Chain A
Amino acid sequence: MTVTLFIPCFIDAVYPRAGISMVEILERLGHRVECPGEAACCGQPPFNSGYWDEARPIAAKVLQQLATAEAVVIGSGSCGAMVKKFYPELFAGRPEAALAQAVASRTWEFSDFIASKLGVTELGAKFPHKVTFHDGCHGLRELGVKQSPRALMAKVQGLELVEMAEAETCCGFGGTFSAKFPMISTAMGDVKCASAIETGAEYIVSNDSSCLMHLQGLLTRQGKPLKTIHLAEVLNHR
């Protein structure tokens, strides 16, 4: 199958290793990977801030780039939710509505694509560490992705997953929320980090880099040894 991998702006500019891991995993599974060169961002920052008119041109560009894709895979629950769930709402009653619906129906979050769509869980990965998993809220609640990452991690050699307390509670990133209300965002992040530290894990793994950027930022500032890593990098670790 030809997989169109949409790399979110975060992964492109800050966490290229996560994107590279996705490419390598998909190719090892025998799929042809395409990365549309001109789509930079899904448009979520303006969309979530209420600037839907400003989000539409960005989203329209993405739609145009993904229009003919057989399967769209996005390495972030949050950007995945934007394309899969919010594009149809953003373009409701507009000329792009049908395209938005069509693209949405072919769009997958990365881990869910591997585990549910491809039905593969054994990726031959080794990651001999104790980890805990953070479900990004958009992946979890907008897309309903909960089991796939766990099914994949269960097959990683040496990986020990310890679920944290209040595992489904938001980490406090929330896009522009983290800058508009940094005190609340930070308090939420502190609660999350404390839950993660309590597990005794070495890594917080997540399928959303944006949550990890927020958590890693707090951990680094506070001098905590706990590290963060994207699920794709774990699954590509050999």
Chain B
Amino acid sequence: MSERENILGRIREALQTKAPLPGSHTAGGATTHPVSESPAAQAREWLPLVGATAEEQLALFAKNAADLKADFQPLASRAHLKPALLRLRDAENWQRIASHQGELSSLAANALGLPVLWTDTGYDVQAMEQCDVGITECDALIAQTGGVAVTSRSAGGRALSVLPPHHIVIARRDQLVADLPAAFALLQQKYTPDFPSMISFITGPSRTGDIERILVLGAHGPKKLTIFCV
């Protein structure tokens, strides 16, 4: 018999005896009363509040992103993207950038007048490691957390959003969702049954508190996260 069958066999045997439901532990009585099929389905009612309108949600996203030490820049139009990026380029003296083909990411990468490492047809990781910036698109901005959701398909692979020291996300205004349940629903609807092999919720730049619980940004991933919303 395979280990798989051994383990599943032990599990089935153990589950012959029913366990008490959560919160009914005191009398030691077993019960078979089924819990709800999906107890977490109403998560929205318990998670932190988000505003009702798109404006409130955008304001909440901005506040949460600032708390996370991400740089959030809502832009009035696409025309404002180029000057905003050029300001960053000059301030940080970028030499090389990495990006992927996409309506917004290409627009951003091509605006900079710098050599671009495109990930779309494969890339050299050492070369990406030398890049100052990774520019990606995303699947969603989440007002509730101030974070972004990216996937290996929407954001140029697995490494682009985490290897260069500065991650720039270019998002559309209509990609803002209210809360985490909405983000999960969106991803599930968009990708089922063929999910990208990686989905990542990025909530602020990389950080650690492993030395005396003091916050340091850029532990292994990006020190900076800039989110442009057009």
Closest-by-CB residue of B relative to A142 is B26
Complex CA distance for A92 and B26, rounded to whole angstroms: 9
Q: For A85, what are the chain B residues with a Cβ–Cβ distance below 8 Å? A: 26
Q: Does B29 contact A (CB under 8 A)?
A: yes
Complex CA distance for A85 and B26, rounded to whole angstroms: 7
Closest-by-CB residue of A relative to B29 is A92
Tell me which residues from 47 to 77 in chain B have a Cβ below 8 Å from any Cβ of chain A: none
Closest-by-CB residue of B relative to A101 is B27
Tell me the smallest distance from the CB of A142 to a CB of chain B, in Å: 10
Q: Does B28 contact A (CB under 8 A)?
A: yes
Tell me which residues from 119 to 148 in chain A have a Cβ below 8 Å from any Cβ of chain B: none
Q: For A89, what are the chain B residues with a Cβ–Cβ distance below 8 Å? A: 26-28
Q: Does A43 contact B (CB under 8 A)?
A: no
Closest-by-CB residue of A relative to B26 is A89
Q: For B26, what are the chain A residues with a Cβ–Cβ distance below 8 Å? A: 85, 88-89
Interface of chain A, main secondary structure: helix
Tell me which residues from 64 to 120 in chain A have a Cβ below 8 Å from any Cβ of chain B: 85, 88-89, 92-93
Proximity string of chain B (17-40) to chain A, C-beta cutoff 8 Å, 1 when within and 0 when not: 000000000111100000000000
Closest-by-CB residue of B relative to A104 is B26
Q: For B28, what are the chain A residues with a Cβ–Cβ distance below 8 Å? A: 89, 92-93
Tell me the smallest distance from the CB of A114 to a CB of chain B, in Å: 25
Tell me the smallest distance from the CB of A29 to a CB of chain B, in Å: 31
Complex CA distance for A89 and B29, rounded to whole angstroms: 9
Q: For B29, what are the chain A residues with a Cβ–Cβ distance below 8 Å? A: 92
Tell me the smallest distance from the CB of A56 to a CB of chain B, in Å: 15
Q: For A93, what are the chain B residues with a Cβ–Cβ distance below 8 Å? A: 28
Tell me the smallest distance from the CB of A194 to a CB of chain B, in Å: 22
Complex CA distance for A193 and B63, rounded to whole angstroms: 41
Tell me the smallest distance from the CB of A118 to a CB of chain B, in Å: 26
Closest-by-CB residue of A relative to B28 is A92
Closest-by-CB residue of A relative to B25 is A89
Complex CA distance for A93 and B27, rounded to whole angstroms: 9
Closest-by-CB residue of B relative to A100 is B27
Tell me the smallest distance from the CB of B19 to a CB of chain A, in Å: 15
Tell me the smallest distance from the CB of A174 to a CB of chain B, in Å: 20
Closest-by-CB residue of B relative to A91 is B27
Proximity string of chain A (34-73) to chain B, C-beta cutoff 8 Å, 1 when within and 0 when not: 0000000000000000000000000000000000000000
Q: For A92, what are the chain B residues with a Cβ–Cβ distance below 8 Å? A: 27-29
Tell me the smallest distance from the CB of B217 to a CB of chain A, in Å: 31
Tell me the smallest distance from the CB of A63 to a CB of chain B, in Å: 16
Complex CA distance for A103 and B26, rounded to whole angstroms: 16
Tell me which residues from 176 to 233 in chain A have a Cβ below 8 Å from any Cβ of chain B: none
Complex CA distance for A99 and B28, rounded to whole angstroms: 17
Complex CA distance for A88 and B25, rounded to whole angstroms: 11
Q: For A88, what are the chain B residues with a Cβ–Cβ distance below 8 Å? A: 26-27
Complex CA distance for A85 and B28, rounded to whole angstroms: 12
Tell me the smallest distance from the CB of B173 to a CB of chain A, in Å: 46
Tell me the smallest distance from the CB of A96 to a CB of chain B, in Å: 13
Complex CA distance for A85 and B27, rounded to whole angstroms: 9
Complex CA distance for A88 and B28, rounded to whole angstroms: 9
Complex CA distance for A31 and B26, rounded to whole angstroms: 32
Which residues of B line the A interface, CB within 8 A? 26-29
Apart from A88-B27, A92-B27, A93-B28: 7 A-B pairs, beta carbons within 8 A: A85-B26, A88-B26, A89-B26, A89-B27, A89-B28, A92-B28, A92-B29
Q: Considering the complex of A and B, which 9 residue pairs feature the smallest CB-CB distances, nearest first?
A: A92-B28, A92-B27, A88-B27, A89-B26, A89-B28, A89-B27, A88-B26, A85-B26, A92-B29
Sample 10 A-B pairs with CB under 8 A, ordered by A number: A85-B26, A88-B26, A88-B27, A89-B26, A89-B27, A89-B28, A92-B27, A92-B28, A92-B29, A93-B28
